[in-house]
């Protein structure tokens, strides 16, 4: 059974003006998502600026989120690292806090061979009992997990149960699901490919878009998964302008800007992320108005 189906939000991490974590605001965001149909919270992912959190902040965000959600929807903790031992440390701590699952990205910068990926994920999975969703995003990591590797891990490591597929290559996703024969749950890692991924056997999305359009992202998935393909396709196409705007600069610069534009006051970005270029703010604002988020 899938950790979740539908829309999982890759939630932003709100900061105070001094760039410390704003836990009160994080609590408000969590309640906002639960009230607006989000199916799962993914804390401390790329969109949550996990790469600039200290280990103490990272774990504090996971612990706070688990307690705040209080089992109302699944909480999946991002605990990946390009150091296997660090990923094991973060993962075992997240398990102690009561996370429902883990999101583990492929190693970045140092990368890995396919053999190295198998060893990396196997060691992490063997250190915990929680279900693990692997995260393949070669555009950020420089490391592409091949379909054969993902399927090998899912078939040979009992708690590796899913993959967030963000290669952008729908042919690769289709091949993965063909080889998997039902042994792995696939989530779209790209908001412009939610319906394409679902169409080849995916079960949901781990979404940036859901930060600003949680109901719509949930409803899009639900429509497809309940057989209303025409409605789901229409919703996907209607979201493309907004999705493009949310990625017109490196994530999470635009989405954090967008959430602030919605009046949620989630604070600044941490360096090396910089404020959004004014011309791109205009593009984002226009897309948000066209989508109905801003009046």
Known catalytic residues are 135, 164
Specify whether the CB–CB gap between 257 and 276 falls below 8 A. yes
CA distances from 52 to 6, 89, 105, 284 (A): 28, 17, 16, 25
What is the C-alpha separation between 150 and 174, in angstroms, rounded?
Answer: 13
Specify whether the CB–CB gap between 230 and 215 falls below 8 A. no
Q: Which long-range contacts (CB under 8 A, 24 or more apart) does 238-243 make?
A: 238/291, 239/191, 239/192, 239/209, 239/213, 239/291, 240/192, 241/287, 241/290, 241/291, 242/209, 242/212, 242/213, 242/287, 242/288, 242/290, 242/291, 242/293, 243/191, 243/192, 243/209
What DSSP state is assigned to residue 21?
B
CA distances from 212 to 10, 17, 30, 225, 246 (A): 11, 21, 13, 22, 10
3-class secondary structure, 227: coil
Specify whether the CB–CB gap between 68 and 24 falls below 8 A. no
């Amino acid at each position: 059974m899938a950790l979740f189906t539908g829309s999982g939000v890759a939630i932003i991490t709100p900061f105070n003006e001094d760039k410390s974590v704003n836990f009160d605001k994080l609590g408000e965001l969590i309640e906002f998502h639960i009230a607006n149909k989000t199916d799962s919270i993914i804390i401390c992912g790329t969109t949550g600026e996990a790469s600039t959190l200290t280990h103490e902040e990272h774990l504090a965000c996971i612990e706070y989120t688990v307690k705040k959600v209080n089992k109302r929807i699944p909480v999946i903790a991002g605990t990946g690292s390009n150091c296997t031992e660090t990923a094991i440390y973060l993962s075992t701590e997240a398990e102690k806090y009561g996370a429902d699952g883990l999101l583990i990205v492929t190693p970045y910068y140092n990368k890995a061979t396919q053999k190295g990926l198998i060893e990396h994920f196997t060691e992490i999975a063997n250190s915990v009992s929680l279900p693990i969703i692997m995260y393949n995003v070669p555009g950020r990591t420089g490391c592409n997990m091949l379909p054969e590797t993902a399927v090998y891990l899912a078939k040979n490591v009992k708690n590796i149960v899913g993959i967030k597929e963000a290669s952008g290559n729908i042919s690769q996703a289709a091949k993965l699901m063909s080889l998997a024969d039902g042994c792995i749950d696939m989530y779209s890692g790209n908001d412009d490919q939610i319906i394409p991924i679902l169409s080849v056997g995916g079960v949901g999305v781990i979404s940036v878009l859901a930060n600003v359009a949680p109901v719509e992202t949930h409803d899009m998935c639900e429509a497809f998964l309940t057989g209303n393909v025409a409605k789901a396709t229409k919703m996907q196409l209607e979201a493309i302008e907004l999705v493009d705007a949310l990625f017109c600069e490196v994530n999470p610069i635009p989405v954090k800007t967008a959430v602030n534009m919605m009046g949620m006051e989630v604070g600044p970005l941490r360096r090396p992320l910089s404020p959004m270029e004014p011309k791109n703010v205009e593009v984002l604002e226009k897309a948000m108005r066209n989508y109905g988020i801003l009046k």
